[in-house]
Structures are given as C-alpha cells and as structure tokens.
Chain A
Amino acid sequence: MGATLFGMLYQVGDAFAFLVLCASGLAVIFGMMGVINLAHGEFIMCGAYVTVSVARIGLPLPLAILCGAAAAGAAGIVIERLVVRRLYGRPLDTIVATWGVSLIAAQGTLILLGPSLPGIGTPLGSVTVGVYSYSTYRLVLMAAAVLLLAGLYLLFNVTRFGLLARATIQVPHMAAALGVDTSLIYSLTFGLGAALAGMTGGLYAPTMTMVPTMGGTFIVEAFVTVVVGGADVFLGTAPAAALLGLVKAGMTSWRGQLFGQIGLLIAVILVIRMLPDGISGKLLRSRG
C-alpha cells in the first residue's frame, strides 16, 4: 500500500517538477512583460548543450548546469537588447519576432553542431521502493523544482532587484520616474527567464537525447502551464503545475505519454473558458 502510494506520488511529483521547471522561465518573462517568449525551447536547448559539453570536459554536473544557465541567460540578455527591446507595447509582434529567433537558433545549431550531440548518462542510479525501482535523479529534479520556487520567492521578495522588478511590473512609468532603470530591469528579467530555461535544459540534459529540436519537447508543457497559471509565478505557475501534474500523471499512467499531453491540452482549454486570466488572475482578483 505504502509502495503504491509512493509510486503515485512519484508520478505526480515528477510531472509537477517537469511543469514547474519548464514553465518558470517563461512565466517570469510573461509576468514581467506580458509577452510569451517563443524561443523558450531554444534557451532550454542552449542550456542543455552547454551543460553536456562542459560536463564532458570533466566539470561536475551541478557546476555544468550552472554554466548552462549562465550561457542561456547571457544569450537571453543579448536577444533582449537586439530584438525584444524594440518591441515593447507590441506583444503579438514580440511573439512573432521571438519565433524568428527560435527558427534561427534551432536550425543554426543543426548546421553548426550537427544532428545530435553525444549525451551523458543519468547519474545517481536508482532506489527501490516495494517492487519498483525509481530513478534517484528524478527525485533530485523534484527537489530542484521546489528549491527553484523558493529561490524565486526570495529573489522577488527579499532582494533589491526583486523590489525594483515588482515596482516595474506594477507601474512602469512611475518606477521610472522614481529613478529605477526600467530598461535594465527588463533586460535582467528577460535574462533571468532565459537562465531559468537554460537551467531546466541542464537539469534534464542527462535524461534526454541531445538534438537541436529538443526544445520542442518542453514548450507545449511550458505554454499550457503558463496559460493556466497566468502572470504570477507563485500564485499561478506553482498551483497550475500541481493541477496539471495531477492530470498529466493520471492520463500518462492510464494511456501513455501522448495521452498525458492530450489530457493537458483539454484541461487547459476547459480552464481557459472558466478562468481567462489563469489561476493567479482569479486569486488576485478575489484577494484584491
């Protein structure tokens, strides 16, 4: 009985971790600027590629993941300065432009680095509970998802950057009038979103095949979580990931991975009909 319960919790936790890690970078950027970064999958791919390359040189995996996150974050700041910066106030155009960036990045990687990169194996072995064995690394990923949420909470609520960022979200021109360099805040937030994507890529790199289109594996989940969650990472993304994780784990164990995705999609379309601003919109409205 306990083993069955653990098995179910493991499935849901795994789905929850995947959704949180996928979506947090996207949600940070969406919450800040109201735009969806369609190059999100390519930032994930960038993080994964850098992580694997650095890990193969001999750096320990956690450091390699940080390198991947840093590389993706730097790429994000460059993209923000070159493209996104010029499109504030035109959210649809931003999406289209980031899609262009995504095409260039995925195809460029294919041209430069070839159709695939040799991967690294999943570390840490497995634990056995009851009759089934579970990957320890997956448990680490769950912990990483929780730590990530806690870290973001601290970042936005304790640090000076978080204060300035929240001010910029609420009333940008007022923040600017009070001396906040809002364009720097936008740059840093976009970079932060990209770095989170890169970290996700790094975290999942040992479990995946390294191909230029690997970002595509993440984006559907990232999109639906952000759509259901709405603009706030803590009140939106986390509960959305919990809800959708339940749906996904249930559907996956019933009919397989693809039906997990189909279930997600149907859940999203139904939720949109009832909560147009996502869970966080609903929570914020009832609170405020």
Chain B
Amino acid sequence: MASLANSSAAVAERVAPRRRLGRVLAALEGPQTLGRGPAFWVGFIAVVVLAACFPLVSDGYTVGNAAYFLCWVFMALGLCVIWGYGGALSFGQTAFFGLAGYAYGVITLNVGAADGLTLLALVLAVLMAALLAAVIGYFLFFGRISGVFLGIVTLSITLVFERFMAQTAGPEWHIGVARLNGFNGMSGMPPLTLPWFGQDVALFADTPLYLFVLALLVVVYLGLRLLVNSRFGNVLVAIRENPERATMLGYDIRKYQLGAFVIGSALAGMSGVLYTAWGQYITPSSMGITAAALPIVWVAVGGRQDLTATLVGTLLVLAGFQVLTIYGSQYALVVMGALLVATVLLAPDGLVIGLVRLGGRLSRGGRRP
C-alpha cells in the first residue's frame, strides 16, 4: 500500500515537469507557425547545438561572417511580423536600422565601453528605433491609410534619412564627441562588451560575438513564436485576413498594427546595432534604396507568413548573395531583383513555405493507398 502511494507520488513528480514542458511547447506552437511536435523541437535543439559548436570546427573569418549573417535576421523577422503577420508592408525598415546603428555609435563614442555600457547603448538604441516607429506608426495607422501608402511613406522616410546623413560631412555635424562624417559614415565605435568579473569581455566580430548573436536570435525567435501564437498574434492575423471583419468584432485594429510595427522596427534597430558593433562602422548607404530592398527580398523569398521560413530564407538568400558577390558583384543585384519578381509571380507565399507545402503534399500523397 505504502509502496503504491510512494510510486504514484513518484509518477506525479515525474509527470509534473513534463506537463509543464507541454504547456510551454503549446504556447510556442499554434496555427500561426509552421513546425510543431517533439520532432520539430528536437531538430530545433539539434540545429542550435550544431550552430553553437560551429566555431569549434571553423576559422575566425568564417565565424565572423556567420555572425554577420545572423545580425540581419532580426530585421527580417521584424518585417515578417509587420508584413507577413500584420499585412502592412513597410519598405523603410532600414530607417530604424540606421537610426539604431548611428545611436549605438554616438552613445558608445561618448560614454565609452566600460562596465557593460555598450549593452546599455544597445538597449537605448533599440528603444530609440521603437520610439521613432511609434511616432511614425501613430500618424500612419491612426490616419487609417491604405496598405500601399504605408510602404511608400516609410520608403520615403528612409531615403530622406539617408540623404540627411550623407550631407553631415562637415565638422559642425557632431553629437558630443561623435562626428557623423557624412557619406563616409561613422567608424571606430567599440564592439559590444559583456561585463565579467574583473575583466570585461569584448565581443569582437569572431566567436564571442557569434555566440552572443546566436543566443539573442534564439531568444528573439522563441519570443516571437510566443507572440504570434498568443491572442495578439491571432488578432493580428485576423486583421491581415480581413480588417473590416476584425473591426466589426470589436478590435481596434490600429493599436494592433501599431504594436506589430513597433516590435518589428525595434528588431530592425537591433539588427542595426549588431551590424554596427560587428563591423564597427555604419554608413548612410545602409539606409539607401538598395539596402531597403534587401529585407523585402529575404522575407518575400523565404516566406513572409512564417517566422521559421523567414529565418531560413534570409540565411539562404544572404549566403547566396555573398557567393554571387564573389563571382560578379555587379550581377548580384540583378539576380536579387529577378529572384524577387520570380518569387512574387511563381511562389507568392515564398520559396521555403512553397517547398514545405510541396513536401507535405508529396508525403501525404505517398501514404495514400
């Protein structure tokens, strides 16, 4: 009797954490994201572990390059939330990218890099991007402008911002000790540093920065999965599918779209900070029309309606773009443009999502008698 009670208590003890794990997993998956079930998460953990072990088998340059790729993914995920989930297409994510990049440079050049101040600069720069997005988004979404206008107004903002920064060459353009340097851009800001007992760890564009960005990416990815599968995400998708119906059901769609826009723009800002910290420079051309087109290409090609597809697509396109640039840099942009047109015409949901669906259909078809 006693032993039975003991064993059932032991079973309960063993089941409780499993149930808790189940609840966490359930919050991470849902109708708004591809990939669910133990198999997906085992694969996910395996990919993260492999990615974390990558520096062990590779050289510093390649790892730094991989960190460079990962830096961009945040902006892509942010655009995925705004465009893919919220249905509002912003062409000007690079404005927030650039603002946060410059803000990081200005703050760190002024206050230095000691005692984790760079991390504070990261947070402040991302907050500034979010604040700008909130102000612009207020006017755009609360003006209830139609979808196509949001794109061209945000694009205009980033282009004017680029031209503004490009003309700041003179010595009168400085914030504190940080010269803005016009078209040549700012450089020489310190890399991110982690405060560590006794000695700070500087995250140079090598293994340390790679691991830091990878960890940040895992956190952001999981956080966004929680977000889009939450009530907020469901309402957002409802707005994308049918704004009038969502309004009739009592949702203030402006607030939800503004929320998505601010979150997505803050992520673009995070990309800006990480990029600036990675290369220790930022130039106005990172906000130009070519730069502004690239996030659209990544997200459209990957598959804008899913975070995982966007993540995979972004890394694939970035890698492809780099290979192209090595063989003929001037043709890379032509190929990007062609890829964009082809994706929109042939696989409007994105290549990665298209392939996943094709795979699903084939495996289902195979099982049928």
* Stretch with Cβ within 8 A of A (4 or more), from B10-18, B67-75, B96-104, B160-168: B160-168
Contacts of B334 in A (CB 8 A): 103-104, 107-108, 111
A7 touches B (CB below 8 Å)? no
A250 touches B (CB below 8 Å)? no
**In the complex, are the beta carbons of A273 and B143 less than 8 A apart?**
yes
Contacts of B155 in A (CB 8 A): 223
**In the complex, are the beta carbons of A101 and B341 less than 8 A apart?**
yes
**In the complex, are the beta carbons of B348 and A265 less than 8 A apart?**
no
A272 touches which of B140, B151, B293 (Cβ 8 Å): B140
**In the complex, are the beta carbons of A83 and B156 less than 8 A apart?**
no
Contacts of B331 in A (CB 8 A): 107, 111
Q: How many Å from the CB of A87 to the closest CB on chain B?
A: 7
Interface string of B132-165 (1 = CB under 8 A from A): 0000100110111111110111011101100110
Contacts of A270 in B (CB 8 A): 139
B contact residues, total (Cβ < 8 Å): 44
B344 touches A (CB below 8 Å)? yes
CA distance A96 to B339 in the complex (A): 11
Q: How many Å from the CB of B228 to the closest CB on chain A?
A: 19
Query: Which residues of chain B from 201 to 255 have a CB within 8 Å of any chain A CB?
Result: none
Contacts of B348 in A (CB 8 A): 90, 93
Q: How many Å from the CB of B85 to the closest CB on chain A?
A: 14
Assuming the A-B contacts A220-B159, A262-B164, A272-B139, are A92 and B293 also in contact, with contact meaning beta carbons closer than 8 angstroms in the complex?
Answer: no
Contacts of B113 in A (CB 8 A): none
Q: How many Å from the CB of B91 to the closest CB on chain A?
A: 8
Interface string of B106-135 (1 = CB under 8 A from A): 000000000000000000000000000000
A97 touches which of B163, B164, B167, B344 (Cβ 8 Å): B344
Contacts of A90 in B (CB 8 A): 348
**In the complex, are the beta carbons of B345 and A97 less than 8 A apart?**
yes
Query: Which residues of chain A from 59 to 117 have a CB within 8 Å of any chain B CB?
Result: 83, 86-87, 90-93, 95-97, 99-104, 106-108, 110-111
CA distance A224 to B83 in the complex (A): 21
B341 touches which of A104, A269, A273 (Cβ 8 Å): A104
**In the complex, are the beta carbons of A103 and B290 less than 8 A apart?**
yes
Contacts of A92 in B (CB 8 A): 83, 89, 147-148, 151
**In the complex, are the beta carbons of B344 and A268 less than 8 A apart?**
no
CA distance A269 to B152 in the complex (A): 11
A35 touches B (CB below 8 Å)? yes
Contacts of B139 in A (CB 8 A): 269-270, 272-273
Identify the closest chain A residue to B159 (Cβ).
A220
**In the complex, are the beta carbons of A107 and B89 less than 8 A apart?**
no
B330 touches A (CB below 8 Å)? yes
CA distance A220 to B152 in the complex (A): 8
Q: How many Å from the CB of A247 to the closest CB on chain B?
A: 14
**In the complex, are the beta carbons of A276 and B145 less than 8 A apart?**
yes
Assuming the A-B contacts A99-B296, A216-B289, are A258 and B164 also in contact, with contact meaning beta carbons closer than 8 angstroms in the complex?
Answer: yes
Assuming the A-B contacts A91-B147, A111-B330, A273-B142, are A223 and B152 also in contact, with contact meaning beta carbons closer than 8 angstroms in the complex?
Answer: yes
Contacts of A91 in B (CB 8 A): 147-148
Contacts of A108 in B (CB 8 A): 334
Q: How many Å from the CB of A99 to the closest CB on chain B?
A: 6
Identify the closest chain B residue to A39 (Cβ).
B337
CA distance A87 to B148 in the complex (A): 14
Assuming the A-B contacts A95-B89, A258-B163, A272-B139, are A223 and B337 also in contact, with contact meaning beta carbons closer than 8 angstroms in the complex?
Answer: no
**In the complex, are the beta carbons of A103 and B148 less than 8 A apart?**
no
**In the complex, are the beta carbons of A104 and B337 less than 8 A apart?**
yes
Contacts of A20 in B (CB 8 A): none
Contacts of B160 in A (CB 8 A): 220, 258, 261-262, 265
Assuming the A-B contacts A95-B89, A103-B340, are A224 and B156 also in contact, with contact meaning beta carbons closer than 8 angstroms in the complex?
Answer: yes
Interface string of B326-343 (1 = CB under 8 A from A): 000011011011111100
B311 touches A (CB below 8 Å)? no
Name, among A101, A103, A104, A269, the residue most crowded by chain B CB atoms within 10 Å (CB to CB).
A103
Counting from the closest, the 8 A-B pairs by CB-CB distance are: A103-B337, A100-B340, A104-B337, A100-B341, A107-B333, A223-B152, A273-B143, A97-B344
Listed in ascending order, the chain A residues whose CB lies under 8 Å from chain B are 30, 34-36, 38, 83, 86-87, 90-93, 95-97, 99-104, 106-108, 110-111, 213, 216, 219-220, 223-224, 226-227, 258, 261-262, 265, 268-270, 272-274, 276-277
> 5 pairs across A/B with beta carbons < 8 Å?
A99-B340, A107-B337, A111-B330, A227-B152, A272-B143
